[in-house]
Structures are given as structure tokens and as C-alpha cells.
Amino acid sequence: MSNTNLVVVEGRITADPMMHKTKSGKSVCRFTVANNRYYFQGKNLIDEVSFFKVTAWGPLGERCAASLKKGNPVLVSGNLKQDSYQTKNGEKLKEVTITAANVKFIGVRKAVPTATVDHDGAK
């Protein structure tokens, strides 16, 4: 039995990426990608937008934070991760994010190579 967990999303950054360090000193960058899907419903062209939260660790995250801005097109590949957390009101919520393994900067003016890292931020 295979346990494949791979996702690839192309879209545009919805806001400037947010970079911070964990308590252990690892760099982590978070951003959201908007992906448009077009299809016909009868004769009407439908534009459906989905938003995907992305987390990039270590050197990959540092490159994303330094090079990406709101509106930049990207191609993100990685795996899905589901986290559970509790709000201040005590409500239990779950959130699915993409843990980036590779981010391809599409059309970014500053020449930046595509970067790939493993999940703990090591290159």
C-alpha cells in the first residue's frame, strides 16, 4: 500500500510572505497562493479561486521571503499537512497547509534559482 502525499499548485502570492524564526532558531516563511480554476457551466465560463496556505522552512523559506512579493506567480510542490489547534474561545479547528519542498519563482525579475529542501529545513 502506498502512502503518497504530493501536491503541486500554481498561482499568485496573495500578500507579502511572512518570515520568522522558531524557538529553536529555524527559519520559517508562510504565504498564501491563489489558484484560479476555469470551467464551463452551460455556456457560462466560471472562475473559481482556491487559496492554499504554504509553509517553507530553512534556506527555501529565506529565499521565498527575500524574493517573493504580493502578486508574484509561483509553482509550489510539497506535501499536505493537517494541524489541529484551539482558538481563544475554545473552539477546536483543523487546518491543512502545504509544506513546500520546492518553490519555483515564475516571472520574478530578480534571478533566483529554484530551491528544494527537505521538511526539516536541511538542504
Q: The CATH number of the domain where 79 resides is what?
A: 2.40.50.140
pLDDT per residue over 64-109, tens digit each?
999 999 999 999 999 999 999 999 999 999 999 999 999 999 875 5
Cβ burial of 121 (10 Å; 0-12, 13-18, 19+) is middle
With contact defined as beta carbons under 8 Å apart, do 104 and 73 qualify? no
- Which residue segment(s) compose the domain that 74 sits in? 7-110
Number of domains comprising the chain: 1
Question: Residue 121 falls within a domain, yes or no?
Answer: no
pTM over 0.85: no
pLDDT at 123 over 70: no
Distance CA 95, CA 100 (A): 16
Give the pLDDT mean for 3-10: 93
- 36, 42, 84, 104, 116 from 121: Cα distances, Å: 29, 47, 22, 17, 10
Which band of pLDDT confidence, cut at 50, 70 and 90, is reported for residue 3? confident
Is 42 inside a domain boundary? yes
Q: Is residue 120 part of a domain?
A: no
Q: What are the cell numbers at 24? A: 529553536
